[in-house]
Structures are given as C-alpha cells and as structure tokens.
Structure 1
C-alpha cells in the first residue's frame, strides 16, 4: 500500500490525459494559455504503465481528467484497458470529470468501457452567461451530452464553481434543474489558484452564504454520505437528490485526503494546493522497471504535505499553475 508521512493511505489517482480543452473557463485558463509541447506529454502506453504500477502499489480508484479528457486522441483505447481492470477486480472504480461537450459522441462508449459515473462541469443554465464564462462555449452541446449520458445509464454529478455574481444568481435554477434531471450537484468554492482565479481578483462566494440562500427555498438535511472526495453533502427535502459543498479554506479535509494527481506530462502532484511535484516521466523514459517505478511512486507519496496552502500567504501560498495542468 502507498502510505504518506502522516499515515494516510493513498489509493486514489486523478489522472490528466491532456492539458488541452475546447473551452476557456475564466477561472481555469488564462486567455493566453500555452499548451505543453506534445513530446513532453506521456503516450497512452506510458500512462497505462504508470496506472498499472499505481494499482500494483495498492491504488483502487482512478479518475480521468484534463484539460478535457475526451479531447485526447484515441483515449477510448486507454479507457477500455483501465475499465477491464474494474471488470476483473484489480481496480475498484474508474470515473471521469468532463466539461460535457463531447459526451453526445462518447457517453455510450464510456459506459461500455466500464465507467459508471461521471462529474460534469456546469456553472450556469443561462446560455449567454455560459458563453461568457467559457469564452465562447455553447451550452446546448453540454445539455445534449448530458442527455446522452442519461441514456447510456451513467450516474451524473454536476460540478458548479461558485463564481460570485453568477452562482448566487443562478444556483436556485441549477438545483431545481438537477432535481428534475436526477443529477446530484456539487458547489465548489472558488480557490485562490492559478492565473484564472487571479484574473477574477481572488474573489469568492462563501458556500455557507450560498447554502443559507438555498435553504430559504428547500429543506436541506445534513447527511453522512461521503464519496472519495472532500464534499460535504446535504439532502434536498424528499427528492432523493444531494447537494455537495467543497470549501477548502473553511473545511479542513486534508487529514482524510487519499489522492494524488498525475499530470499529462508525468508530474505527480501529492497536493493540489501546493507546488510540490515528482517527475515520474524522467524515471519512466530512463528505462525504469516496474519495481523501480513503484519505489518512485512511494517516494512521491511521502512528499504529500499535512495540508494545502489555500489560506496561506507568501512563499507557501497556493501555486500559480493553471487549474488545467492537474485537472482540478
């Protein structure tokens, strides 16, 4: 098993297939984003090998992210390979976070490959606001993709970044729509992270305030439900639907953190909220065997800090890399 220096078991890998995306969400990418050269990006074969080493070391869950993971050419081949590990018991779960723009094309294939649930990023149901937030995106493409996901039998959770001036205005409509669609919903507080958030002046809408607003319309009941992530959930009346809240600065979930992140360039980030990273690509391309790679994974995990740096200042403040580098 992979154990960090604070005795936390690490069995969850968030894997970025690409830093490229067909949207330019204002809190995720700057308008001048430069993508990494393709020769620095891991091949799908290299990614599969690192995943195999992670699973061999005790990994139980892999979440595919980006950028937008479905933009990676031939990604389905890798997804089918990883899905076969779920089928034979080597892996407990394979999931994905996507912006939804390509789900209409891929939802059926994802379900057939072994993915059972996905998270879809959607911050508003207003087409004009969506276009502004994503710098040119088309809301209907995402809605069509979500219909395809439902038809394929995928469980869906909508992820909404609580952008001030938008979430406080649109949250009620989003909750009502998710209840009607049978989707869970998770609000994510804006993190002081990367150029995108910096361009918004680090402004945040506290989720405690957002919950108070929602409670004026719906009965919200705290529940003990936990996913493998940091969300705190409530039930929406008798609808059977859940709303999650992720507020990293106000809710200390680091003591339970079981995840690391692997960028598409082979950099292992033990913590989203710090700049610490470990270069697995160098070892991989230097010809390291599986035993050696497993030792590299174990060493990287020991670098996992006791907590993130979202509330810190100065030299220990949260990193300025774009959110798309590590997939959130």
Structure 2
C-alpha cells in the first residue's frame, strides 16, 4: 500500500500483555485520526474552534504503526474516530492497511455520516465491520441547530449507502439534551426500528467548555429508559459490542437499544479500552488526564517499535480505576473537547 509500509508480525507475536493494575485486560483502542470535523456539534466543540497544524497530527503511516503495535500486544478491536475521520485526506488507505492486520478481530468507526454516501462501499471492501453514526435529531432545523452546519438529508443518504454496501448492526449514537432534543427519544427509536438499526443513548459528558450549562441540559438514561419502556416492548439483554453500552432488545424487531451512562451508572469496573488522540496522546481514561505521549517515540525511533511497546505496556500502571464526572461542578471535568480526544 503506497505510503503505509506494513511490517508483518509472526502469529506468535500476538500475546495479550496489556493488563492494568486492577486486573482489567485492555483489548480495545479508539484512535482519532483528526481533530477536524465538517460539523460543529454543540456538545462536542466550542463555537470558535482552533484546529491543530498538520505537523502536530500523526501521519497516517504513524497511525498504522500504532495500531500494528497495539495488535501485537493483544488488542483485537480498533475503532477509528475523529473529529470526523472521513474528512482526513486519504483516510481510506488507513482503513485498508488496518483492515488486513492478522490478529485484529474487529475494525469499526464512529462518524457523523456526512461522507458515507461517498465512502461506504470502499470502507466495506477495506474490512470495516461496523459503523456508529452520530445523529441527534430527525428534524432538519433542529439537526442544523445542534450541529451548527449539518445537513440531515446528507446523513440519511449516508445511512442508506451504508446499508446498501452491506453493513449490518449499524448503530446510531444519540445525545439527548433537555430543552434541545429531549423530545426525540421515541421518534429516533421508531426510525431505528423502521430501518433495522441499533441505537445508543449517551449521557452528555462534561468535556470542554461549551456555550450551554450541561447541568441544565442533562438527561439521565434512566429517564430515557423509563420513557421508552412505556412505548416499546423492551427486553433486557446481556449482549455487548465490547464497549460500555448496556443493551435492551425491542421485541419482534431487529433493533437493540443501548445506554451509555457515565453519570448515572459508572461503567468503569469492566473498562477494556484506551484512547489515542490524533496528536499521539494515549489517554488511559476518557474522564481523566492520565496520558502518555507516544508521538516522540514514533518519531525518535522510526525503525524500532520496542520503545513504543514498552511505553504502552508501562502505561497500564497509570490507568485509573474510573472517571470522575460531576455535573455539579461549574467547570468541565476535563478541559479538552470530545473532538480532541476522539469519539
């Protein structure tokens, strides 16, 4: 693959080694490949964002090298995120490179759906197995208000393109906000059922300074679940996709409803994931500042992965027990925006 030089590893190299101080095995990474996005969602970005210069962002070659290294350490699931990953120039080449790695069980992506009409077919061919699509409203005017610039019709065409390309278990990710879109839980689930999609409701996370009070807009997932149970036959499920969502099945349909509840239910006891920003910062927890800078190791040792491997293994000892989200604070729990950490 031009520009992404693969260095195959023998199968014996794939030995799980990433065990944190609490005995949790890390086998899932979320890698952001850009902080840029063609949307400006109100819970994800400030109104006037300043994006990173190119030299401060991992190259696609460095992204591929990071993923290969993590896979040799037992990681079997990789999620590519952003910003919006598909606005990154030549992003498809990274999916093609990662999608053929031996030892990788699942390659997934989180996207706003705006570019899927163009890329869905090629992403499927590259080995992408599942797609999460962030969508917070079915009302075009409200959708534009939440995203500041987004076109709902373009996202809906992207969802259809993903279905046409053969993706199954497409999942919508929805953040409900009181006074903004909290009336849409039922219509969104009806849409998911109609189109044989899954949907996950995510409590708004206090990441970065935004132009509204998260304490005022917070909607608990318990309230959403109670509302949905009054309108749909929901059956509790033990299913998992490897992330923090707790799932319910909608009886007599193909749809699952997930709830990711960082406030009302701390899901950290079984945390199996770490995040890597587009700057190469390895964050051991979404809601804490514990991190290791991997970019210098990539650039100082371009032909030797051992320092990188050692740093990743050592980082497991600073992975915290859990996050500490508290909406009673005036300041956000974490200063960096979600778009900077990766969705």
- Contact conserved, 1:27 with 1:200, CA < 8 A, in 2? no
1:242 and 1:4 mapped to 2: Cα distance? 31
Q: What's 1:51 paired with?
A: 67
Say which SS state the counterpart of residue 195 (structure 1) adopts. Answer: coil
- Contact conserved, 1:309 with 1:317, CA < 8 A, in 2? no
Residue 99 of structure 1 pairs with residue 112 of structure 2: yes
- Contact conserved, 2:221 with 2:264, CA < 8 A, in 1? no
Range that drifts further, 280-289 or 122-131: 280-289
Q: What's 1:291 paired with?
A: 306
> In the TM superposition, what is the alpha-carbon distance from 1:301 to its structure 2 partner?
2.3
Give deviations 1:110-166, integer Å, cap 9, x for gaps. Answer: 000011210000001000000000002110000000010000011210000111124
Q: What's 1:21 paired with?
A: 37
Against the structure 1 CA distance between its residues 213 and 313, is the aligned structure 2 distance closer, same or farther, given a 3 Å change threshold? closer
Q: 1:300 aligned to 282, 291, 315, which one?
A: 315
Structure 1: stretches of 5+ with no match in the other structure: none
Range that drifts further, 208-217 or 23-32: 208-217
1:193 and 1:82 mapped to 2: Cα distance? 29
Residue 176 of structure 1 pairs with residue 212 of structure 2: no
Q: What's 1:309 paired with?
A: 324
Say which SS state the counterpart of residue 97 (structure 1) adopts. Answer: strand
Q: What's 1:218 paired with?
A: 232
Q: What's 1:140 paired with?
A: 153
Residue 252 of structure 1 pairs with residue 284 of structure 2: no
Q: What's 2:95 paired with?
A: 79
Q: What's 1:121 paired with?
A: 134
- Contact conserved, 1:103 with 1:149, CA < 8 A, in 2? yes
Q: What's 2:13 paired with?
A: none
Give deviations 1:208-256, integer Å, cap 9, x for gaps. Answer: 1111111221111111111211111111122131100111122121110
Residue 34 of structure 1 pairs with residue 50 of structure 2: yes
- Contact conserved, 2:249 with 2:257, CA < 8 A, in 1? yes
Say which SS state the counterpart of residue 111 (structure 1) adopts. Answer: helix
> In the TM superposition, what is the alpha-carbon distance from 1:201 to its structure 2 partner?
3.7
2:78 and 2:315 mapped to 1: Cα distance? 17
Residue 10 of structure 1 pairs with residue 10 of structure 2: no
- Contact conserved, 1:274 with 1:317, CA < 8 A, in 2? no
- Contact conserved, 2:237 with 2:247, CA < 8 A, in 1? yes
> In the TM superposition, what is the alpha-carbon distance from 1:185 to its structure 2 partner?
0.5
Give deviations 1:11-52, integer Å, cap 9, x for gaps. Answer: 111000100000000000001111111101011111111111
2:114 and 2:27 mapped to 1: Cα distance? 29
2:110 and 2:220 mapped to 1: Cα distance? 23
- Contact conserved, 2:112 with 2:133, CA < 8 A, in 1? yes
| Count of aligned residue pairs for this structure pair | 324
Structure 2: stretches of 5+ with no match in the other structure: 1-16
Q: 2:243 aligned to 222, 226, 229, which one?
A: 229
Say which SS state the counterpart of residue 103 (structure 2) adopts. Answer: coil
Against the structure 1 CA distance between its residues 31 and 212, is the aligned structure 2 distance closer, same or farther, given a 3 Å change threshold? same
> In the TM superposition, what is the alpha-carbon distance from 1:291 to its structure 2 partner?
1.4
> In the TM superposition, what is the alpha-carbon distance from 1:317 to its structure 2 partner?
7.0
Q: 1:269 aligned to 283, 290, 298, which one?
A: 283
> In the TM superposition, what is the alpha-carbon distance from 1:312 to its structure 2 partner?
8.2
Range that drifts further, 43-52 or 22-31: 43-52
